[in-house]
């Protein structure tokens, strides 16, 4: 909201006292209030700084997502150039690992330092990592650069959403989250295409391309992202940060992710090298939650999980991310391995899903803002995302393109209804003081869901393929595709070079193994329907009540918002 000392007429004595009590900031000052004026201040005003900040958030979100997926196509060439060997797994996954584990920690820092400087610093970290990775002459340097990039990207993706929450009232957040998340999705989609094009010329520009974009975004953030925050002393910093909790969290999640990343690729799942980090990470995560329940300033307060709507919406985000990753990895496999299409043609065939998902997310966010209701969007979304994978069981090698395009569109419409409307549902029952913490957990679960969305269906697919591989009569071909290599060999010339009779057998096994994956996606969607039944409607606030609002001299409360705010404080809105 606007600076209390600049706009004293819009802060009541009781409301400010409540903020002081909640945040335990002894140096805060109580400002006397007057009744809000009832003229043209009824709407939240958005000036030039607001739109410049939104544009910069869209651009940096696009760049961060682009960098997360750009390596998918460029990795083989990078591995060859740097003689990476089996370290290619670390090159591919260190970015996602770093991006995931830092988000709750960044969320707590944002409550202390505000949003402005953490956002600027993370963009600089991202640019630094891009420079290191682009100039890497060894695999070790590449891993270091990608890790630094991941830390910056994790902060960026968290704070992009958090700053949107600070700029607009809860009722309007769906609209702007839809816009920003759509540009981020566009970056993820464009990544492999851009990576393939750049890698053919010079793979280093897969990373150097981020530098001019960061150079464009940083001045806008420095000059226009002027967000209020409470002043703290260094002694308060030492006591308000949950240092022990953050260390336990990052250590345990890192251990889990290492086990997931290397399991089934470098080492078998039964190896002690995989079981040990998974067990340590799981135990550490349990210890973390026990510690948080006793901690004075927890980085993940247990109270945010005690509200059923918040907990249900967080679960929805996790399973949606998981299922979205599943779809993005295994729909292309259908085209490559079952229909025998090229990589370029596969990308074209997958466009119906992507072209519906991106604008659909923006439209769903706008509908959520206009109506103030999110449950019906979640119900529709999970109904379609359960129906879509279920109908995928009808896919055959000769399925008409109109049919498989409609199946993609059905699934994409469902996911579009969920992606931009879950964060408003997460935040609706919570006080504004918990926005950063809840958004941090939301971002973490989204990234964590992406990891599980690769791991779980891959295990299911590989096991089912091996079970059905007896249908392939050629022992050599069967052996070449077993043991998790079926996915790897789907994109090359191996399958297309097989005799026609063997091809038919291989395609049948791929199709049957994919059916098991679609059943997993169906089950995930069905669990989301259960979560929709658990959440309840909580009115989305139309006023902006935050200590971190953009300083642009505009009013954030109108007469309707003031009345709603007063009602919410007396318990009429929950």
263 within some domain: no
Provide the 3-class DSSP secondary structure of residue 26: coil
Q: What is the C-alpha separation between 231 and 114, in angstroms, rounded?
A: 9
Q: Is residue 163 domain-shared with residue 226, that is, in the same domain?
A: yes
What is the radius of gyration, based on Cα positions, of the chain? Answer: 24
**For the chain, how are helix, strand and coil distributed in percent, rounded to 5?**
75, 0, 25
Q: CA torsion 261→263→265→269, rounded to 10°? A: -170
User: What residues contact 507, with CB distance under 8 A and at least 6 apart?
Assistant: 337, 338, 340, 397
Structural domain tally of the chain?
3
Q: Is residue 473 domain-shared with residue 414, that is, in the same domain?
A: yes
Domain that holds residue 563: 1-33+549-574
Q: Is residue 194 domain-shared with residue 223, that is, in the same domain?
A: yes
What φ, ψ does residue 372 adopt, rounded to 5°?
75, 10
250 within some domain: no
CATH number of the structural domain spanning residue 110: 1.20.1250.20
What φ, ψ does residue 263 adopt, rounded to 5°?
-65, 130
DSSP assignment string, 454-507: HHHHHHHHHHHHHHHGGG---HHHHHHHTTTHHHHGGGSSTGGGS-HHHHHHHH
184 within some domain: yes
Q: Is residue 25 domain-shared with residue 162, that is, in the same domain?
A: no
Q: Is residue 218 domain-shared with residue 305, that is, in the same domain?
A: no
Select from 150, 161, 165 the least CA-distant residue to 102.
150
pLDDT tens for the chain, residues 1 to 574: 333 333 333 223 233 233 323 333 333 333 333 333 333 333 456 778 888 888 999 999 888 888 877 776 677 678 778 887 667 777 877 888 888 888 888 887 877 777 888 899 999 999 999 999 999 999 899 999 999 999 999 889 888 888 887 788 877 877 787 788 778 877 776 776 677 677 777 889 889 989 999 999 999 998 888 776 566 666 666 677 788 888 998 999 889 988 888 887 778 888 999 999 999 999 999 999 899 888 888 888 888 888 899 999 999 999 998 898 888 878 888 988 888 887 677 777 888 887 888 788 888 988 988 888 899 999 999 999 999 999 999 999 889 999 999 999 999 999 999 988 998 899 888 887 787 788 888 888 888 888 888 788 888 888 899 899 999 888 888 888 887 778 777 766 788 888 888 888 998 999 999 999 999 999 999 999 999 999 988 887 666 565 555 555 444 444 444 444 444 443 333 3
Q: Is residue 49 domain-shared with residue 127, that is, in the same domain?
A: yes
Q: Is residue 3 domain-shared with residue 106, that is, in the same domain?
A: no
Select from 529, 40, 571 the least CA-distant residue to 319.
529
Q: Is residue 320 domain-shared with residue 349, that is, in the same domain?
A: yes
295 within some domain: no
Q: Is residue 357 domain-shared with residue 388, that is, in the same domain?
A: yes
Domain boundary among 194, 211, 231: 231
Q: What is the C-alpha separation between 110 and 166, in angstroms, rounded?
A: 12
Q: Is residue 457 domain-shared with residue 520, that is, in the same domain?
A: yes
241 within some domain: no
Domain boundary among 231, 252, 267: 231
319 within some domain: yes
153 within some domain: yes
Q: Is residue 334 domain-shared with residue 393, that is, in the same domain?
A: yes
Q: What is the C-alpha separation between 416 and 414, in angstroms, rounded?
A: 5
504 within some domain: yes
Q: Is residue 50 domain-shared with residue 1, that is, in the same domain?
A: no
């Amino acid at each position: 909201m606007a600076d209390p000392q600049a706009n004293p007429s819009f802060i009541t004595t009781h409301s400010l006292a409540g903020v002081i009590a909640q945040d335990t900031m002894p140096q805060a000052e109580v400002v006397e209030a007057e009744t809000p004026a009832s003229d043209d201040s009824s709407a939240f005003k958005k000036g030039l700084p607001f739109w410049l900040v939104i544009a910069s958030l869209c651009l940096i979100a696009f760049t961060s997502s682009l960098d997360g997926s750009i390596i998918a196509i460029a990795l083989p060439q990078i591995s060859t150039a740097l003689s990476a060997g089996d370290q290619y797994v670390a090159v591919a996954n260190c970015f996602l690992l770093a991006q995931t584990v830092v988000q709750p920690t960044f969320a707590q820092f944002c409550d202390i330092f505000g949003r402005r400087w953490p956002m600027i610093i993370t963009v600089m970290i991202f640019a630094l990592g891009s420079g290191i990775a682009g100039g890497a002459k060894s695999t070790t340097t590449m891993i270091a650069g990608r890790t630094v990039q991941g830390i910056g990207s994790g902060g960026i993706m968290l704070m992009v959403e958090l700053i949107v929450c600070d700029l607009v009232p809860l009722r309007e957040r769906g609209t702007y989250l839809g816009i920003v998340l759509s540009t981020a999705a566009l970056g993820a989609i464009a990544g492999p295409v851009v990576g393939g094009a750049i890698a053919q010329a010079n793979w280093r520009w897969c990373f150097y391309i981020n530098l001019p974009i960061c150079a464009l975004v940083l001045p806008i953030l420095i000059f226009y992202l002027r967000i209020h925050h409470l002043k703290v002393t260094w002694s308060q910093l030492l006591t308000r940060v949950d240092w022990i909790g953050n260390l336990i969290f990052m250590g345990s999640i890192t251990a889990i992710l290492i086990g997931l990343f290397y399991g089934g690729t470098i080492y078998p799942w039964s190896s002690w090298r995989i079981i040990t980090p998974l067990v340590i990470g799981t135990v550490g995560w349990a210890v973390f939650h026990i510690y948080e329940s006793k901690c004075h300033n927890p980085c993940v307060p247990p109270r945010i999980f005690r509200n059923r709507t918040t907990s249900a919406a967080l679960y929805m985000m996790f399973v949606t991310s998981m299922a979205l990753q599943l779809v993005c990895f295994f729909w292309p496999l259908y085209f490559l391995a079952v229909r025998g299409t090229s990589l370029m043609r596969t990308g074209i065939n997958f466009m119906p899903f992507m072209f519906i998902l991106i604008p659909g997310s923006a439209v769903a966010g706008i509908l959520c803002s206009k109506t103030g209701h999110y449950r019906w969007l979640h119900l529709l979304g999970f109904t379609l995302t359960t129906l879509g994978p279920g109908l995928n069981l009808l896919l055959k090698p000769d399925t008409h393109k109109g049919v498989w395009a409609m199946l993609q569109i059905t699934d994409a419409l469902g996911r579009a209804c969920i992606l931009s409307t879950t964060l408003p549902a997460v935040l609706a029952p919570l006080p504004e003081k918990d926005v950063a913490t809840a958004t941090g957990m939301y971002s973490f679960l989204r990234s964590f869901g992406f990891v599980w969305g690769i791991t779980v269906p891959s295990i299911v697919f590989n096991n089912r393929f091996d079970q059905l591989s007896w249908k392939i009569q050629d022992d050599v071909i069967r052996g070449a595709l077993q043991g998790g290599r079926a996915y790897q060999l789907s994109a090359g010339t191996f399958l297309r070079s097989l005799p026609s009779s063997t091809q038919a057998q291989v395609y049948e096994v791929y199709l049957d193994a994919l059916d098991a994956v679609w059943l997993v996606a169906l089950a995930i969607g069905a669990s989301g329907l259960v979560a929709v039944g658990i959440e309840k409607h909580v009115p989305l606030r139309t006023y902006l009540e935050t200590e971190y609002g953009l300083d642009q001299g505009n009013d954030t409360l109108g007469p309707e918002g003031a009345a709603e705010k007063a009602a919410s404080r007396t318990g009429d809105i929950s």
